Amino acid sequence: MKRLSVVLCTLSVVMLLVGVAMANDYVGSNQCFSCHQDQFNDWQASGHPYKIRKMEKARYSKLPLPPGYSWEDISYVIGGANKKARFIDRNGYIITSAKDGSEAKTQYNLNDGTWAFYHKGQKKPYKCGPCHMTNYKKDGHQDGLPGMIGTWSEDGIGCEECHGPGEQHIANPSKANIKVDSTTDACAKCHQRGGTGPKPLASGGFIRHHEQTNELRVGAHKDLSCMECHNPHQRAIVVAKNCANCHDDEAAGYAKNIHGKSNIECIECHMPRASKSAIKTGKYAGDVRTHIFRINSSADGTMFYGAKKNGKKVMYAKGAVTLDFVCLNCHQSRDMRWAARYAKKIH
């Protein structure tokens, strides 16, 4: 019996040591800086760290606040880097009215300095996991705030949200103990809404702003990886303009026509702003470029269609952008029929 007790005790110690050795917890993005300065600095300048920030950090961004509120009334800010900002009160609920309860626009749009309604007057809990934070868990309430649904290790999309927990990697830097995933699926966890199938959701005459995966998979470049063009550490607008690598004949012809000579880039037509995050800048211009690429050059082409989902009508985008988005933002005095006469010969 004494020998058995010794054996069991030894096994327990071994299992404990193995468990300690295998532990791999989240350590925070700041731990990555000492070895990966360039990637860290690129990431800091991107929108990923700012998907959600505590008031103590966000208050230095000089964002205006909804009517009646001071920074002491705010616990977190959602976004506020590139497109828009929303604000969370001290109980964890997204602010949807003025502090006195009266009607107010509470979403601040950075591109033009306007305000917009966001779920006007509703009691709106913050439940934006897992796309605004790192290591999201559905259970519990961050900081004990009742309106915050779920918990997480780090505000915003940190290094470990894509690369996995870094404790082992910090202790023993090796490619074997950190995740590097360059597939589209790595981005698809957040850059879609309602699933990653090729059905980009649409609303109000535009594609919704987080449908890049769906756009890619419904369009001409469905087999292309996001990282063929994007460095995931950098802002999305810092993109490799490498269309001519595959489309050299089209690029050579295009360079000789009036658009090419005017330095109008491929993306202006093949990636028009058919998606909207915060504002639209024209009848056929949102504030996000689409990733569909293919153009429907028909004069009577339509870009959107409705379908039933769970008994409700839902709008989707088709697999090609139409000439209103492609041509008429510049040629505003023209119409689709005029555009169709020239579109097929544009290269």
Q: What does pLDDT average to in each consecutive run of 10 residues of the chain (347 residues)?
A: 49 44 89 97 95 97 97 98 96 98 98 97 96 97 98 98 97 96 92 87 94 94 93 93 92 92 94 96 95 96 93 94 96 96 89
Q: What is the pLDDT of residue 16?
A: 43
Tokens 């010969």, located at residue: 345
Q: Beta-carbon neighbour count of residue 314 at 10 Å?
A: 15
Say what the pLDDT of residue 244 is: 92
pLDDT value of position 195: 85
Tell me, what's the pLDDT at 21?
53
Q: Identify which of 246, 253, 251, 248 has the alpha carbon closest to the alpha carbon of residue 265.
A: 251
Among residues 342, 208, 176, 206, which one has the least CA distance to residue 274? 206
Which pLDDT score is estimated for 11?
46
**Domain map (residue ranges) of the chain:** 48-155, 186-343
Q: Which residue has the tokens 């292309």?
A: 224
pLDDT score of 30: 97
Can you say whether the dihedral through the CA atoms of 140, 143, 149, 150 is positive or negative? Answer: negative
| Residues β-bridged to residue 315 | 202, 306
**What was the pLDDT predicted at 219?**
92
